[in-house]
Amino acid sequence: MQLVPGLHQIGLGYVNAFLWDSPDGLVLIDAGVDEQAAGILAYLTGLGRQPSAVRWILITHSHPDHIGGAAKLKEVCGAQVLAHRDEVAAIESSLGRAKVIDRELVDGEGTPGGLKAIHTPGHTRGHTCYYHPRRSILFVGDALTNREGLAGPSEKYTADMPEAQRSIRKLSQLSFEIACFGHGEPLTAGACTLVDRLVERMESNR
């Protein structure tokens, strides 16, 4: 589903992947579980695009529902896979193979497609969001969820909740209208204001 021109949500059941159609080429953010790679490729076909149009895959974190399809999609598309350097070992361990990641990122580093890596640890050690300042888009991964209203990550699957909350505060310092979540529906207007309100609630509960 196209959310705004150039930005597509690929719903994969309980998790989302996103496709960013940049002037540099297609960028896929996250890759679902292993068997969902076929759904991502089918979505591309529906757009009239070849798999080779996907030039980069940006990984938010190492959980299987976000990286399971990465190795297959890398092979089929010929894409490069990027992730934060603190997440690489966990990603490759989860996938059961080495050298899946082509480029290791650090906080604040620019990525293909005009995006910027924002290190947001807590859910996992190397969790990373991807931010497009000019288009006011934030790909949130699991730093936030929007299943039944905007909230932080699931405590059950989060390594360090206090660190995750610090990362939410970090995100609230950015300016963005659109937020794309690994779990839940995207926000296509006023997203930063809603994150600010979430931070206010967090502070009042401390």
Return the pLDDT at 97: 77
Evaluate if residue 48 carries a pLDDT over 80: yes
pTM of this prediction?
A: 0.97
Domain count for the chain: 1
- The CATH number for 78's domain is 3.60.15.10
Q: What is the mean pLDDT of residues 19-44?
A: 95
What's the pLDDT tens digit per position in 97-117? 788 999 999 999 999 999 999
Tell me how far apart the 2 most distant CA atoms of the chain are, in Å: 50
CA distance 169 to 116: 17
Decide: 112 and 25 in contact? Cβ < 8 Å: yes
Note the pLDDT tens digit of each residue in 74-95.
Answer: 999 999 999 999 999 999 998 9
Query: In the predicted model, what is the mean pLDDT of the chain?
Result: 96
Counting Cβ atoms within 10 Å, is residue 35 exposed (0-12), middle (13-18) or buried (19+)? Answer: exposed
Here the tokens at position 166 are: 């610090």
Residue 175's domain comprises 2-204
- Give the integer Cα–Cα distance in Å for 27 and 156: 30
Look up residue 100 and give its DSSP letter.
-
pLDDT for 18 equals: 98
Give the per-residue pLDDT at 117: 98
* Chain mean position to CA 191: 16
Q: Which of 64, 119, 111, 115 is nearest to 92 (CA)?
A: 64
* pLDDT one-digit tens code per residue, 125-179: 999 999 999 999 999 999 999 999 999 999 999 999 999 999 999 999 999 999 9
Nearest of 112, 185, 106, 105 to residue 144 by alpha carbon:
185
Q: Is the pLDDT of residue 206 over 80?
A: no
At residue 57 the predicted structure's pLDDT band, cuts being 50, 70 and 90, is very high
| Spatial separation of the C-alpha atoms in residues 10 and 117, rounded to whole Å | 21
The pLDDT, as a whole number, for residue 96 is 87
Query: What residues are paired with 29 via a beta bridge?
Result: 18, 58
pLDDT at 54 over 80: yes
The closest of 143, 186, 145, 149 to 165, measured between CA atoms, is 143
